[in-house]
Amino acid sequence: NGITVNNAARLGGAWLLNIENGDTSSFQQSNVVAVDGVLYAETTQGSVVAVDGATGEIKWRYKPEGGPLLRRGVAVGEG
């Protein structure tokens, strides 16, 4: 009842989220970090978002000052 070599081709997307209104004017160089069902990502516009991995709902968003600078993403520390 899990993902196997035999059934992996049948997998599909559960949801689609257009963060930052779907803006693709810049390229993305960061990775998504997953912790306890929450996906954390940095956008090309410099925001950091926490997304419920099951529903695609944005749980929170942080927009630091400085705008769309080239960054490498997020990390998770203790606590």
Task: Tell me the whole-structure pTM to 2 decimals.
Answer: 0.78
What is the predicted pLDDT for the residue at 68?
62
What does the pLDDT look like over 60-75, one tens digit per residue?
999 888 766 666 788 8
What is the predicted pLDDT for the residue at 24?
75
| CA separation for the pair 32, 64 (Å, rounded) | 18
Share above pLDDT 70 across residues of the chain, in percent, rounded to a whole number: 91
What is the predicted pLDDT for the residue at 67?
64
| CA separation for the pair 68, 45 (Å, rounded) | 4
| CA separation for the pair 32, 50 (Å, rounded) | 10
What is the predicted pLDDT for the residue at 30?
79
